[in-house]
Amino acid sequence: MFLRKLLIELCIYAIIASILWYFSDIEVVSSFLYGVSVSFLSNAYSLYVLLVYRAKSIKEEVKRFYIAEFGKWSISLVMFALIFLNLNVANPLIFFVAFIFANLVTILFIKSSNTR
């Protein structure tokens, strides 16, 4: 179920990137994809940590949640640093907007799965 949602998110990002590529240049698309990749990979790690193992108690569940959140923010921080140090981000505004957009898409997918 969650793997299917991750694949749907990837398809959404690919469609938006192809639309951006059609209407603008590759620098805008690369900035968009860098921002989306930071959000997607950190959220995928968090989902993996939370969903792979079943906790035997509430204490273990809370511990796993804190580990997942710390890992998610650590991955985001390291990826931000690596991208800005090693890659040429032509449009930082698009990079940050894409990061926020990808987080909002993930939140909407989580909310839609909880309401069903």
pTM value?
A: 0.84
Give yes or no for residue 74 having a pLDDT over 60. yes
Instruction: Decide if 46 contacts 76 (C-beta within 8 A).
Output: no
List the single range of 7-11, 25-29, 86-90 with lowest mean pLDDT.
Answer: 86-90
Average pLDDT for the chain: 87
Q: Which amino acid is present at 40?
A: F
Name the CA radius of gyration of the chain, rounded: 16
